[in-house]
Chains A and B, each alone.
Chain A
Amino acid sequence: MLEIKDLHVEVGGKEILKGINLTLQPGEVHAVMGPNGSGKSTLSYTLAGRSGYDVTGGSILFNGKDLTDLEPNERAAAGVFLAFQYPTEVPGVTTMTFLKTALNAVRVARGEDELDAVRFLKLVREKAKALNISDDMLKRPLNVGFSGGEKKRAETLQMALLEPTFAVLDETDSGLDVDAMRVVAEGVNALRSPERSMLVITHYQRLLDHIVPDHVHILSDGKIVKSGPKELAREVEESGYADIKSDAA
């Protein structure tokens, strides 16, 4: 369903991704691991369509359609979701207003009807409850003053509402203690389904104890240098990225 072919990406005139190849089948969870500066965040922003991340070569085919021509909102409507490493604070916009606007935009783009306030509130409450998100949090401005755990739970709530078929989780474990990580991981696992694939981007193996991937890829200097089963993550944890790199060399 997602096919990344020889993807080259420049940021500010500098090539960061130097020919990525990656294929995800429906229902699969792939992990991309790599040291700082290897291009992990560039990959996630490129998939979501952030401006300034210029695709200079290759393609990203999503259900047969090239994503690189689409605006971020069009990608969201098509079923792509990026859970941010650092969700942006948006002062003055309540979380609830944002959620309703986003959900209805996506529903309309997908040919579904808009939810009125009553149906929307019922749905959001149900999903929020499972993630231990209070009404108070929904009334606050989006991500403003949220703790690290609250931000990641809010990201997971957005994913649950928007129901993407392909989700990128960018360093979802960063800024979380073990308990908070468990809550988020449970939320993510609840969203695993035969139709939905996920790309879990992480520096550390610990998140992959909770969100167990089908495949693991090691990203280094803008290229995938090694791929393997879930055990590869543990190998990296034990021997570090340096050895992996030397393997590839």
Chain B
Amino acid sequence: MARPAIQPLEIETGFVDDHAAATASLPGAATQGVERENAIKVFAVDGLPHRRLEDYRYFDLRQMLAKVGPLAVTPGADNATASDDANDVFANIDRYVAVVINGRLDTSKSDLTGLPEGVAFTSYADAVDADWVKAAFNSAEGPQDSVAALNRAYASDGVAVRVSAGVKVDKPIEVRWLSAGDTGTHYHARSVVVVEEGADLTLLETRGDDASAPVFATNTLRLVVGDKATLRHAAVYADSEASVRVAQKSVTLGEAADYQTLGLAVGAGRARTGEHVHFAGEDAKGAINGLSLLRGKAVMDNTLFVDHAVPNCDSEETFRSVLDDASRGVFQGSILVRKDAQKIDSQMQARALLLSRKAEMDAKPMLEIYADDVICAHGSAIGEPDQNAIFYLMSRGIDEKTARALLVAGFLDDVVDGFDDGDIAAALKTLLAARLGAPDDMGQEVAL
């Protein structure tokens, strides 16, 4: 079918025209050249995704970048800052830290000393030709859209982590994504994390910037959780108003794998996380959670595809948004249960609290089921804070503002409480309480 002629945006033309020159200075120019060239050709045809594509219906990337002129790829910098307190959310947790600036791993700012034997940690650029990295990406089922092509075309760097079979990593690894430069920039990071059979890893991500000029970044994250392996993943997104971000996660779960992820968006920018979770082995469990606490004109789009390809797996998808001012939340969730994938238990729920008349939530949960012996449910509810609960709290002496803050924090904490690491959950709850002006949670102190 003939494609309707769309006048390419300045920024789209820039991505294509600048490609050869810009990628010459990126890591891995020698080995990744051909793949990058092929990818930019795909992008040149498709351009940025827009609202007429179902997947991007509520996140019109083309329109968001329409007035942004051509952006430059800028190298990493010494002065990357992110003053948002969300970036220090895990400061009190004993952890390894990897700092990635403008899509490039900065080893001088990272602290990975003492990583146990059996954990390989390198920059993505250094690992790109390794067989295990290639294998991980070749088996990825993630979306093949034009953002993926752009990411591939400009792939700079990121992290590559491999936890060998049976190794339980003693402390979480945090990857901090920072941006630098005030002239406007774009960059495209790629990372891979493989947790081999029986291994155990907690992966943290924090993302933020103090950008005053537009930042457009894409971030591909490939996660492979092997047989009987455990991966806990928590990410905090605190982007500045100037930034537009698209993260694409592709996850494969082996037999009896245990995967849980919690993405928390508290930033002012416009961001999207597209996640594709592929259940490849039986008896695996996946808990996929997304929380958004937005104000101003912030946008957070969680677009999720869960592929139950094999029997006897459980998945839980819980997404909650608290939207103030003119912020907007998006949830598009789709669960596919294939024909032979019997005994699947899958529960998907999207809820939102609207704190302002101008706030907006678009929720579209979908089930596609071809097996006949499954328990699957989805639900969506959008409303205002519970008046009964506000009255109840006020009748105990708590003023209305604090009562609302407590309720809203509770709405999100309820999901955070399910995270299988108490210290990380507590850190996230402290952040939420601070953002909302709610009293700090006392749950931990009771145990003293």
A82 on interface, CB distance cutoff 8 Å: yes
- Which of A51, A88, A101, A109 counts the most B-chain CB atoms under 10 A from its CB? A101
A207 on interface, CB distance cutoff 8 Å: no
Residues 74-110 of A contacting B (Cβ, < 8 Å): 75-77, 81-82, 84, 87-94, 96-98, 100-103, 105-106, 109
B445 near A72 with CB under 8 A, answer no
B397 near A93 with CB under 8 A, answer no
Q: How far is the CB of A139 from chain B (nearest CB, A)?
A: 5
- Which residues of the partner chain B approach A138 to less than 8 Å between Cβ atoms? 446
- Which residues of the partner chain B approach A102 to less than 8 Å between Cβ atoms? 393, 396-398
Q: B413: nearest residue on chain A (CB-CB)?
A: A92
- Which residues of the partner chain A approach B407 to less than 8 Å between Cβ atoms? 90, 93
Partner of A91, one of B398, B411, B440, B443: B411
- Which residues of the partner chain B approach A141 to less than 8 Å between Cβ atoms? 410, 414
A93 near B445 with CB under 8 A, answer no
- Which residues of the partner chain B approach A90 to less than 8 Å between Cβ atoms? 389, 392-393, 406-407, 410
A84 near B443 with CB under 8 A, answer no
B399 near A98 with CB under 8 A, answer no
A interface residues, how many (CB within 8 angstroms): 39
Assess A92 versus B411: contact at CB under 8 Å? Given A71-B400, A106-B397.
Answer: yes
Q: Is the interface of B mostly helix, strand, loop or mixed?
A: helix
Residues 171-206 of A contacting B (Cβ, < 8 Å): none
B417 on interface, CB distance cutoff 8 Å: yes
Partner of A96, one of B387, B412, B442: B442
B409 on interface, CB distance cutoff 8 Å: yes
B395 near A49 with CB under 8 A, answer yes
- Which residues of the partner chain B approach A101 to less than 8 Å between Cβ atoms? 398, 402, 406, 439
Q: A161: nearest residue on chain B (CB-CB)?
A: B396
- Which residues of the partner chain B approach A84 to less than 8 Å between Cβ atoms? 392, 395
- Which residues of the partner chain B approach A72 to less than 8 Å between Cβ atoms? 391, 394-395
A77 near B397 with CB under 8 A, answer yes
Interface bits A231-242 vs B (CB < 8 Å: 1, else 0): 000000000000
B79 on interface, CB distance cutoff 8 Å: no
B6 on interface, CB distance cutoff 8 Å: no
A31 on interface, CB distance cutoff 8 Å: no
Q: How far is the CB of A22 from chain B (nearest CB, A)?
A: 20
A139 near B397 with CB under 8 A, answer no
- Which residues of the partner chain B approach A243 to less than 8 Å between Cβ atoms? none
A43 on interface, CB distance cutoff 8 Å: no
- Which of A49, A76, A103, A162 counts the most B-chain CB atoms under 10 A from its CB? A76
- Which residues of the partner chain B approach A96 to less than 8 Å between Cβ atoms? 442-443, 445-446
Q: B386: nearest residue on chain A (CB-CB)?
A: A88
B448 on interface, CB distance cutoff 8 Å: yes
B394 near A93 with CB under 8 A, answer no
Q: A140: nearest residue on chain B (CB-CB)?
A: B443
A121 on interface, CB distance cutoff 8 Å: yes
Q: How far is the CA of A114 from the CA of B411 in the complex (A)?
A: 26
- Which residues of the partner chain A approach B446 to less than 8 Å between Cβ atoms? 94, 96, 121, 135, 138-139
Residues 424-448 of B contacting A (Cβ, < 8 Å): 439-443, 445-448
Partner of B394, one of A76, A91, A117: A76
B113 on interface, CB distance cutoff 8 Å: no
A48 on interface, CB distance cutoff 8 Å: yes
- Which of B387, B396, B414 counts the most A-chain CB atoms under 10 A from its CB? B396
Q: How far is the CA of A138 from the CA of B442 in the complex (A)?
A: 10
Q: How far is the CA of A9 from the CA of B389 in the complex (A)?
A: 22
Q: How far is the CA of A125 from the CA of B65 in the complex (A)?
A: 57
Q: How far is the CA of A49 from the CA of B448 in the complex (A)?
A: 37
Partner of B448, one of A105, A106, A121: A121
Q: How far is the CA of A100 from the CA of B246 in the complex (A)?
A: 41
B398 near A93 with CB under 8 A, answer no
Q: How far is the CA of A82 from the CA of B392 in the complex (A)?
A: 9
A68 on interface, CB distance cutoff 8 Å: no
Q: How far is the CA of A76 from the CA of B394 in the complex (A)?
A: 8
- Which of A87, A90, A100, A106 counts the most B-chain CB atoms under 10 A from its CB? A90
- Which residues of the partner chain A approach B398 to less than 8 Å between Cβ atoms? 73, 101-102, 105
B397 near A105 with CB under 8 A, answer yes
B394 near A92 with CB under 8 A, answer no
Q: How far is the CA of A102 from the CA of B446 in the complex (A)?
A: 17
- Which residues of the partner chain A approach B391 to less than 8 Å between Cβ atoms? 48, 50-51, 72, 88
- Which residues of the partner chain A approach B395 to less than 8 Å between Cβ atoms? 48-50, 72-73, 75-76, 81-82, 84
Q: How far is the CA of A196 from the CA of B65 in the complex (A)?
A: 66
Q: How far is the CB of A105 from chain B (nearest CB, A)?
A: 4
- Which of B397, B402, B413, B439 counts the most A-chain CB atoms under 10 A from its CB? B397
- Which of A77, A91, A135 counts the most B-chain CB atoms under 10 A from its CB? A91
Residues 149-169 of A contacting B (Cβ, < 8 Å): 158, 162
Partner of B399, one of A50, A105, A162: A105
- Which of B391, B392, B402, B406 counts the most A-chain CB atoms under 10 A from its CB? B392
Q: How far is the CB of A222 from chain B (nearest CB, A)?
A: 22
B396 near A76 with CB under 8 A, answer yes
Q: A143: nearest residue on chain B (CB-CB)?
A: B392
By a beta-carbon cutoff of 8 Å, the part of chain B in contact with chain A is 386-389, 391-400, 402-403, 406-407, 409-415, 417, 439-443, 445-448
Listed by A's residue number, 12 A-B pairs whose Cβ atoms lie within 8 Å are A71-B399, A72-B395, A98-B393, A98-B406, A101-B439, A102-B396, A106-B397, A109-B397, A141-B414, A158-B396, A162-B396, A162-B397
Query: 3 shortest A-B CB distances, which residue pairs?
Result: A92-B410, A92-B414, A76-B397
